[in-house]
Amino acid sequence: MTETLSLMAMGFVDALYPVNLLAMTAGVTIGIVIGCLPGLSAAMGVALLLPMTFSMEASTGMIMLGAIYCGAIFGGSISAILIHTPGTPASAATAIEGYQMTLKGQAGKALGTACIASFFGGLLSCISLYFFAPILGQLAM
């Protein structure tokens, strides 16, 4: 447990370098644009933009690809809420309730709720992965 926490701390320090923060910001922005486009999923966005990270340092490239994926997952809810066409398969359920809110004039509230839910859902799953991945790895072996 202590080793996991120390490795997490080193990862957070590495993620706070200015080049990594810039890559994270650019990745989320690009991911949101990709997610908004119906027909382009988050995995497809990562696959299309993978060559962009070839010249980067490994940690910076991984941070950027992760940011593209997370941004695309949220970006899919934008088109789902506004035009009733899910941008990604993950936002299919959002198209049902979110579009109904748009018809009632509450598009901003629906987008805000989707953004907050996406943030906290991603944060919770990331923390869970950090703690359960070593256990699952041992179980798999």
pLDDT digits (tens, 9 = 90+) for 57-67: 999 999 999 99
Work out the number of other CB atoms within 10 angstroms of the CB of residue 15. Answer: 16
pLDDT at position 105, please?
A: 93
Per-domain residue ranges of the chain: 2-140
CB contact set of 74 (below 8 Å; sequence gap of 6+): 31, 32, 35, 114, 115, 118
Share of the chain above pLDDT 70, in %: 99
The confidence band for 88, taking pLDDT boundaries of 50, 70 and 90, is: confident
State pTM to two decimals: 0.86
The confidence band for 115, taking pLDDT boundaries of 50, 70 and 90, is: very high
Residue 90 near residue 76 (C-beta atoms within 8 A): yes
Dihedral (CA of 93, 95, 96, 97) sign: positive
Q: Where are the alpha helices (DSSP H) in the chain?
A: 2-15, 18-36, 42-49, 58-83, 92-103, 107-140
Residue 34 near residue 82 (C-beta atoms within 8 A): no
Overall size of the chain counted in residues: 141
Residue 58 near residue 41 (C-beta atoms within 8 A): no
The confidence band for 11, taking pLDDT boundaries of 50, 70 and 90, is: confident
